[in-house]
Amino acid sequence: MAFLSYLLYALGAIVALALLYVLFIAFCMIFVDRGKLYDDDSPFYRFLIDAVVSQILFFSNVRVTVKGIENLPESGAFLLVGNHISMYDPIAQLRVLKDRKLVFVTKPEIMKIPVAAPALRRCGFMEIDRENPRKAVLTVNRMADFLSRGRSVAVYPEGTRSKTGELLPFHAGVLKPAITAGAPVVLCRVSGTENVHKNAPFRKTPVTVEFLRTIPAGEFSKSSLLCESARNEFLK
């Protein structure tokens, strides 16, 4: 009976700590202006993002393996181009590239999530509205500005998640900032994330983040040619 009491106390303490943690994060989000575009990276909010990313992977029982790390530039800003098969894709990439402080370009819905969106916005994450060409152009220009100032940006040129895992057509426009800013393009393929929702949390899900190749700055002068070359690398 005593053991059961101790167990209930322990579970209660864990639940209480979890609630306090969530409340703390929610409290921190109050200080972010949701109508402002932040160009700098906040060490504090980046720390929160990294912490939550690690916790999501841990409690989802995801084990990430990295391949082709030698294909990643040792320093400097780059445009990360990836395939998109699951909401866990950016989570895995953020974990692997923690030290590079990536800024993701995402769909507007993500930037409306109550607790997560303020931290993402405070670190420069940006939305792209493909239904509004004028707003999309502003985002593309902002991507180029970030790259020019030494901040690495990540984008999924398919524009949406592939439900079958088959690579969808790329949108060349989101690769244009690399040409404008004279930044290299890192091609990063993620596999295994599509299985997380079926396995978590009781079964381990192996996920692979593979850096296929870095296309040097200046190799292509047109975004259409860069887009074609990048997509061909993923299809190999």
pLDDT in tens, 132-189: 989 999 999 999 999 999 999 999 999 999 999 999 999 999 999 999 999 999 999 9
- What's residue 159's pLDDT? 92
The answer as to whether 25 is a domain residue is no
Instruction: Kindly report the CATH number assigned to the domain that includes residue 51.
Output: 3.40.1130.10
Length of the chain: 236
What does the CA dihedral 96, 84, 221, 40 come to, rounded to 10 degrees? Answer: -50
Alpha carbon 123 to chain centroid distance? 12
Burial class (CB in 10 A: 0-12, 13-18, 19+), 10: exposed
* Residue 231 CB partners (closer than 8 Å, separation 6+): 157, 167, 169, 170
Residue 7 domain flag: no
The answer to the question of residue 12 being in a domain is no
- Confidence grade of residue 9 (pLDDT, cut at 50, 70, 90): confident
- Torsions phi, psi for 104 (to 5 deg): -95, 145
Q: How many domains does the chain have?
A: 1
Collapse the DSSP code of 16 into the 3-class scheme (helix H, G, I; strand E, B; otherwise coil) and give the result: helix
Q: What is the pLDDT of residues 34-44, one digit of tens each?
A: 889 999 999 99
CA 77, 78, 79, 83 torsion: positive or negative? negative
Express each pLDDT in 21-34 by its tens digit.
888 888 999 999 98
pLDDT classification of 114: cutoffs 50, 70, 90: confident
Average pLDDT in the 223-232 region?
A: 97
DSSP letters spanning 107-143:
-TTGGG-TTHHHHHHHTT-EE--TT-HHHHHHHHHHH
- Is 52 part of a structural domain of the chain? yes
Q: Is the pLDDT of residue 212 over 80?
A: yes
Q: What angle (nearest 5°) sits at the alpha carbon of residue 204, between those of residues 198 and 208? A: 90
Decide if 107 is inside a domain. yes
Phi then psi dihedrals of residue 158, to 5 deg: -70, -25
Q: What is the pLDDT of residues 77-108, one digit of tens each?
A: 999 999 999 999 999 999 999 999 999 999 99
pLDDT at 209: 98
Residue 8: its pLDDT value, please? 73
- The 10s digit of each residue's pLDDT in 54-85 is 999 999 999 999 999 999 999 999 999 999 99
The closest alpha carbon to 213, from 200, 232, 197, belongs to 232
Task: Give domain status of residue 194, yes or no.
Answer: yes
Q: What average pLDDT does the chain have?
A: 94
Q: Which domain holds residue 80?
A: 36-235
Residue 29 lies in a domain: no
* Mean pLDDT of all residues in 99-125: 94
Residue 84 lies inside a defined structural domain of this protein:
yes
Give the 3-state secondary structure of residue 166.
Answer: coil
**Taking the model in full, what pTM does it have?**
0.93
pLDDT over threshold 90, residue 1:
no
Tally of CB atoms within 10 A around 171: 18
Strand 185-191 to strand 103-106: parallel, antiparallel, or no bridges (unpaired)?
unpaired
Distance CA 19, CA 25 (A): 10
